[in-house]
Amino acid sequence: MSQADSAAPARDTWTSGFAFLYSCMASAIGLGSLWRFPYVAGQNGGGAFVILFLVFVLILCVPLMMAEMLIGRRGGGSALLSISSMIRGERAWGAWKAIGWLSLLIPFLGLSYYSVVAGWGLQYIGVAAVHGFDGYATSSGAKFDTLMNSPWRGALLQGGFIAAVALVVALGVQRGIEWVARIKMIGLFVIMIGLVIYGATTLDMGRAAHFLFNPNWSALTPEAILEAFGQALFSTSIGVGMIITYSAYVPNRISLGQASFAINITVALVATLAGLAIFPALFTYAIKPTAGPPLIFVALPAAFDKMPAGRWVGLMFFVMIVLAAFTVAVGMIEPVVAWLKEKSRLGRGPLSFLTAAAIFAVGLPSLLSFSTLKNVHPLAAVPQFASKTFFDLLDFSIANLLLPLNGLLIALFVGWCVKRATVDEELGLKGVAEWGWRLSVMILSPLLVAVLMVSLIFPDTAKALLAHLTPHA
């Protein structure tokens, strides 16, 4: 029995271990894999970056996710209740509660701006369904700017998205989260495989595969190595709080090591398939893979205008984007609702919609960062953030500061503060597997996360130091 069982209210549970797996997969596979991974891989030269990303997922993210699962199942409640329970059980320093608070703050703030991007996906589903992408070949950027300069439309899309997410969470773990996760995973793979087949039969799949899987190690920079690690953390949702929360609903018979391995392998597979779905169109229509963040919403619609059946391909693509974003959003709101359930007599339904309303309100400055507030820079006095809008500031802070920080704290807490007997009981690792897990969680992961954070906060200093340490790069 977990330590929190006596303190926590009656807990939801998954219908099966398989339901836990596909729900975690659905909540980890989102815009990080389908939007961010392709453009980051494109900016860093493809093949060598992709291979490093896969290596980091296997040797660092799998052990880190196991550490998160250990906290969740052992604690048996929300992220904050679970870490508090473990602190008591392990007689650890009370300041480790920061893990719980970060696991609430990160998904709350993250969803406030993540939902803005999801709203763009909804808009493009409407574009494809109503009249297609005619004219986007020459004016895709201008049409995207028009979307971003329409705050009322953006607010309606963002609000509708968050309300739908709240509805699923209100229905509970089995009737809501499991149900929509099952639909998402089936739909995601059907659409993605369809897009890959279309690319292989109609577009330039050969160049795309060569770009993604033929490594040019001589062109790999130290910065790209760190970016591959950062992308691995981002794609697998390490530190968000979702894995801790979902793991509180897992029975002891489920192997956390096998679950973590299966989830991370699936995330890596989907990210790779996303590249195979996107890059053939880019190479066919001479669009540079280094387009950056506008790749999905500017570059690809221009390609859809040119390709055979582009309207329907585009519709499938943006349905896939919104499906991915939706279940990730479910996984981001659930940690907050789970915590509120422990603190309030209100039911899951009212708490879900109250949380959604609060997230929508907090997200309005991010939405307006592309229109009314586009020239407002909240931290203009700080050189590092002088040019960042509300949206930019949240995006940078969550992805580059809070997520790695929480991952670092989780690794240090489980690796150095949790008793070996507790780890053995929850993970059941023996021999080489145990030593490999300990090496990753206690040394490799904290070291790389610390270097990554320093490089993102002080990019010029880090670049000079890396260049000095690896002059051949």
Among the ranges given (95-109, 408-422, 427-441, 452-466), the one the predictor scored with the smallest mean pLDDT: 452-466
3-state secondary structure of 329: helix
- pLDDT value at position 31? 80
Distance CA 375, CA 296 (A): 24
- pLDDT value at position 338? 93
- pLDDT value at position 295? 73
- Rounded mean pLDDT, 394-416: 90
Which of 326, 272, 285 lies closest to 34, judged by CA? 272
Among the ranges given (114-118, 221-225, 361-365, 421-425), the one the predictor scored with the smallest mean pLDDT: 221-225
Contact 323, 33 (CB under 8 A): no
Note the pLDDT tens digit of each residue in 430-460: 889 999 999 999 999 999 888 888 877 777 7
Confidence check: pLDDT of 138 > 90? no
- pLDDT value at position 167? 96
Nearest-10 Cα torsion for 184, 355, 353, 332: 10
Distance CA 281, CA 198 (A): 10
Confidence check: pLDDT of 4 > 70? no
Higher-scoring residue by pLDDT: 460, 302: 302
Q: What is the DSSP letter of 12?
A: P
pLDDT-derived band at 420, boundaries 50, 70, 90: very high
Contact 88, 7 (CB under 8 A): no
Contact 356, 333 (CB under 8 A): yes
- pLDDT value at position 353? 96
- pLDDT value at position 6? 41
pLDDT-derived band at 86, boundaries 50, 70, 90: very high
- pLDDT value at position 5? 42
Q: Which distant-in-sequence residues (6+ apart) come within 8 Å of 234 by Cβ? A: 32, 36, 399, 403
pLDDT-derived band at 3, boundaries 50, 70, 90: very low
Distance CA 363, CA 114 (A): 9
- Rounded mean pLDDT, 411-432: 93
- Rounded mean pLDDT, 373-391: 87
| Mean pLDDT estimate for the chain | 88
pLDDT-derived band at 1, boundaries 50, 70, 90: very low
Quickly list DSSP for 153-181.
HHHHHHHHHHHHHHHHHHTHIIIIIIHHH
- Rounded mean pLDDT, 322-327: 91
Confidence check: pLDDT of 140 > 60? yes
Query: What count of Cα atoms within 13 Å lies in the side-chain half-sphere of residue 407?
Result: 36
pLDDT-derived band at 363, boundaries 50, 70, 90: very high
User: What CA–CA distances, in Å, run from 215 to 10, 42, 211, 266?
Assistant: 51, 13, 8, 22
Confidence check: pLDDT of 414 > 90? yes
Distance CA 386, CA 99 (A): 29
Contact 20, 174 (CB under 8 A): no
Hey, CA dihedral for 299, 304, 307, 313, is it positive or negative? positive
Distance CA 236, CA 36 (A): 12
- pLDDT value at position 87? 96
Quick one: how far is CA 117 from the chain centroid? 13
Confidence check: pLDDT of 147 > 50? yes
Confidence check: pLDDT of 472 > 60? no
User: What CA–CA distances, in Å, run from 263 to 27, 230, 256?
Assistant: 10, 18, 10
Which CB contacts under 8 angstroms, 24+ apart, belong to 467-472? 467/222, 469/222, 470/222
- pLDDT value at position 293? 63
Number of other residues whose CB lies within 10 A of the CB of residue 151: 16
Among the ranges given (36-45, 152-161, 198-207), the one the predictor scored with the smallest mean pLDDT: 36-45
Distance CA 364, CA 379 (A): 18
- pLDDT value at position 292? 60
Among the ranges given (32-41, 169-178, 196-205), the one the predictor scored with the smallest mean pLDDT: 32-41
Distance CA 293, CA 298 (A): 9
3-state secondary structure of 404: helix
Question: Residue 172: which region, alpha, beta or left (left: phi > 0; alpha: psi -120 to 50)?
Answer: left
Burial (CB count <10 Å: 0-12, 13-18, 19+), residue 432: exposed
Confidence check: pLDDT of 364 > 60? yes
pTM above 0.85, yes or no: yes
Residues of the chain above pLDDT 70, percent: 93
- pLDDT value at position 7? 43
Backbone angles phi, psi at 440, to 5 degrees: -70, -50
- pLDDT value at position 11? 62
pLDDT-derived band at 44, boundaries 50, 70, 90: confident
Element (DSSP H or E) covering residue 411: helix 403-412
